[in-house]
Structure 1
């Protein structure tokens, strides 16, 4: 009987292999990786990549859309154009959590689908004051190549359409991992 162990670019993912990886952690050196990509959040049209899943009774009378929750599966691309090379997906949810100022709670994973990071993820858990020019959001973990990742994602809106909520956001990510 042959048992195949899932691999993410040379990193075995089975329970025994993960335990072995941790046992050898003291011999590993930390690396700093910088990533740059664009996040395409589309709420309109026939094929939205973010959809509303909950709202409070007061959401649409609130100046901040307080209580609105969207689930997303947004493409991540090399350039700001939607048809540029896709490097992954942003999957998770965001909700309007500020009653007086727009502040989104973001819980999402950057899931890399191509290149040397294919099969790896980075996890973001953050407040996103979406109207500010730059937003700093912590990277709180990762998987695959990015096991034990920690770092910062800086977001900047490139394009936003108020009538639809569609947006393109530029991300610069700096992470420390093994």
Structure 2
């Protein structure tokens, strides 16, 4: 069966598009992959005039639940070099956590570490995972990033440094592979 003029134009168009896409170079300059270790402190202030975390939703049974199951909190927390709230700020942790366990204090964490200082200024790391708050050490996956952390993957270890009714200070050790 002979090709019609229309079929030939369609074939040539798809061939050209495929050739352009297959040979196009991404704007990302590929570099050697490396592993970085970052350490900083997360300051979650849940009460008082300078709060950095606010509950935005709750289930009807949240207040009667032993764990607060169903509570959702948004946060914009400072990240500092040291555990002292007055130590140098290196960025912010922005996101939300939800109480996702009925038996223990287990949070679903969805957050971005937004770096504002040093060589990572303007870059972010995204973390999504379970945080069993009362465990001595918690591990959560790093699922991506931006800027110098483009194509990032790795894990974040969280350890509670101090905890009181107003503030939680959490030490983060983050190990991330990136280009």
Are 1:101 and 2:78 matched, yes or no?
Answer: no
> Aligned ranges for residues 22-171 of structure 1 at < 5 Å?
24-25=29-30, 28-161=31-164, 163-164=165-166, 166-171=167-172
Paired residue secondary structure (1:20): coil
Q: 1:19 and 2:59 equivalent?
A: no
Task: Select the structure of larger CA radius of gyration.
Answer: 2
Q: Distance in 1 between matches of 2:162 and 2:66?
A: 21
CA–CA distance in structure 2, aligned partners of residues 110 and 143 of structure 1? 10
Whole-angstrom distance in 2 between the partners of 1:19 and 1:140: 21
Q: Tell me the CA shift for residue 19 of structure 1.
A: 3.0
Q: Unaligned 5+ residue runs, structure 2?
A: 1-24
1:41-85 Cα distance to aligned partner (Å, 9 max, x none)? 001111210001001111111111000000000000000010000
| RMSD across aligned positions (CA) | 1.1
1:68-121, Cα deviation, whole Å (9 max, x unpaired): 000000000000010000000000000000011211000000000111100000
